[in-house]
Amino acid sequence: MSDDVLIRVENLHRYYGELCAVRALNFELRKGEVLGLLGPNGAGKTTAMQIISGNLAPSVGRVWIGGIDLLDDPRGAKTQLGYLPEQPPLYREFTVDEYLGFCARIHGIPRAGVRDAVAHARARCGLREVGGRLIGNLSKGYRQRIGIAQAIIHTPAVVILDEPTVGLDPIQILEIRDLIRSLGEAHGVIVSTHTLPEVQAVCNRVLMIDRGERVLYGSLEEITRDGGDHGLTAAFRHPPQAAEVATLPGVARVEALPDGRLRVQPKPGADPVEALVARAVEGGWGLYELIPERTSLERLFVDLVYRDARPGTKPPSPAPVPTEAA
């Protein structure tokens, strides 16, 4: 295993009776990466996180953390890991310093080093001013920060965050996202979520699972670039009929948009731009805008989740994401 591979998951399965909650899951996490584990509710994200964090045994498969096999040496592997479950394990009657000191001792930090570890975790998580306050008297945003602080207090190589912004207000969400991005500079981070903006805001790699199986894996750039045949949005001063544009070589279909533009979907492997521009000049359509659309993460998510939908089921239609004007 390469030195910069912090987690390797190989052929992971988890059964509950006859139900397979996680099936044949494989991926790696490297230093400096923030990996978004994405999927709809019930996709198996939390089960996967519980296995990787050592809180649930796999039915089949292996997990290595920092090169240490989690099944062979669970104690050694877990020293490399910090974990924030969806419900942070907080004691509301403790002060912030008391709780973080308790967590430091649980993680094996020597007594002489506890004060410095607590101060460092508080500073990184924006908790400098609340060390003496009772956890139960703090806002949910602060409690979430405390949950992250307990996950990093022993400076682990890997930090796993399960739904880290659920239930927060917009300002708190932005603050936690900034914190996650900063953690990604020094650690490998896994963020488990079903929220697409969360992944797009903080992650540089994506692992999408559905019904327990991996359906998409790669960098955000690779996924949106290679997600399929990209459409075009065209604007005209004298718009033609959609049916006329649909007859052009390389055009699969044309959709009239509410603002008067036309969305042109190419046939697989075809590029209708040249034919469209030539016909626009010939017909005096006054083409003044031609925007390629990249495949959005939202579009990919919907397509993959609905890929086995029953006949007649129509998936939602997310708005396209334009990239640049031609």
Q: What are the sequence ranges of the domains in the chain? A: 5-225, 232-322
pLDDT confidence of residue 12: 95
Render the burial of 95-111: b for 16+ CB within 10 Å, e for the rest: bbbbbbbebbeebebee
Neighbours of 62 (CB within 10 A): 14
pLDDT confidence of residue 2: 61
- Bridge partners of 27, per DSSP, are 9
Residue 207, helix vs strand vs coil: strand
pLDDT confidence of residue 36: 93
We find that the CATH architecture of domain 5-225 is 3-Layer(aba) Sandwich (3.40)
Distance between CA 250 and CA 270 in Å, rounded? 5
Q: Is there a contact between 180 and 202 (Cβ–Cβ < 8 Å)?
A: yes
The parts of the chain modelled with pLDDT lower than 50 are 309-326
pTM value?
0.73
Distance between CA 161 and CA 251 in Å, rounded? 44
pLDDT confidence of residue 27: 95
pLDDT confidence of residue 326: 34
pLDDT confidence of residue 87: 86
Fold for the domain defined by 232-322 = Alpha-Beta Plaits (3.30.70)
pLDDT confidence of residue 325: 38
Return the residue matching tokens 């307990």: 150
Tokens for 64, please give them: 């290595």
Distance between CA 267 and CA 247 in Å, rounded? 12
Distance between CA 26 and CA 47 in Å, rounded? 14
